[in-house]
Structure 1
Amino acid sequence: MALIVRAQNVPKVSGRIMIVFMVSGRRGPMLLPLSGCLVGSGRSWTPPPPGVFKINVDGASSDLEGISNIGVIIRDCKGGTIVALYKPLQTHYSADLVEVLAMEQGVLLAQELQLPHVIFESDAIIVINSINESAVGTLNGHIIQDIIHAQASFIFCSFKHLNRAFNYAAHELAHFARRNGSTHLWKGVNPSF
């Protein structure tokens, strides 16, 4: 777990303000920029700071069609796709459970790639709050607990809520799984749709 020692503002560059934290991690102290955000904008997805990977996840569940799907995309500080995944689940699950399963899949992919510094984002505020508050006594608490334990495999790891409009790529991946009905994984290239 990282300890924030000090924060400093870095001058605005190209409409962005970056806040840098000195953190103490398993491998000693390091400067870790917090996600730069557009000043006065916030109208789109923002890439993570250098050396950090951002994992966006989304789940889709249709009561009418009786199906559930997930989408995961991992991008670098330039917005380049490292991995993208869409996957239909074997049966229909509640919307909350599908969002938790999407986060779990994102964590598993980041672990498989051995990414050291990660930011997970989801538009499911219930999932983000459950992870950040260690709410393991909930219906999906056993999966939340696994996600919380997985944090130890990263040097830096955070879970953040973002507006659905800013989670477009993961959202589209989840919905493409519904339309396509199969699992697909891209490594190092953007999805073909």
Structure 2
Amino acid sequence: MKTEIKLIDYLSTRRSIPAFQMGEPGPSKDEVEQMLTLASRVPDHGKLAPWRFIVYRGEERRRISEELAKIAIGDRPDLSEEMVKVENTRLSRAPVVVAVVSRAAPHFKIPEWEQVMSAGAVCLNLVMAANAHGFASNWLTEWYAFDARAYAILGVNEGEKVAGFIHIGTPTVPPTERPRPELAEIVTWVGDDA
């Protein structure tokens, strides 16, 4: 039975689980669709929806991972056996991987930068939507998010970019905390009350 949690409590304890520490069960197709519906509820100046989703599930994740590995091994034939294994499992570590694809483009009114940030907001919303459904999630960008040769394998079209790959599954280990920045190091106060 899932426990309800207040948003403020969730945000104060939110953590990512590494993709290689996720396992089955993954979300069903219906659950993924619910997550994507929630993920798409982001600020979107001009209602452009300058992003889209590609959902990788089942055995197709392994086939795509192996195709990506061919590029990596071709670029670095001296990869260790361990790194070859890593390359061969890029999309098969978690049961479901969702690519958030940015379609940001020049627009007469909406700055392209705002469109890019909207895609980033979609990534974070998807992470939180997966958590709200009781699953672990992790937002990753790896080399293949930035390599045009991988785009055809991944289903990314010309003119698009990958904002992130959201890995979703069931955690196999409890989350651990990591260092967070001190507010004094990242906040500038401006005004009389500062």
Where on the TM-score scale, by shorter chain, does this alignment land: which range? under 0.3
Task: Point out the structure with the larger strand share.
Answer: 1
Higher relative contact order (CA 8 A, sep 6+): 2
TM-score by length of 1: 0.25
> Structure 2 length normalisation: TM-score?
0.25
Q: Larger % of helix: which?
A: 2
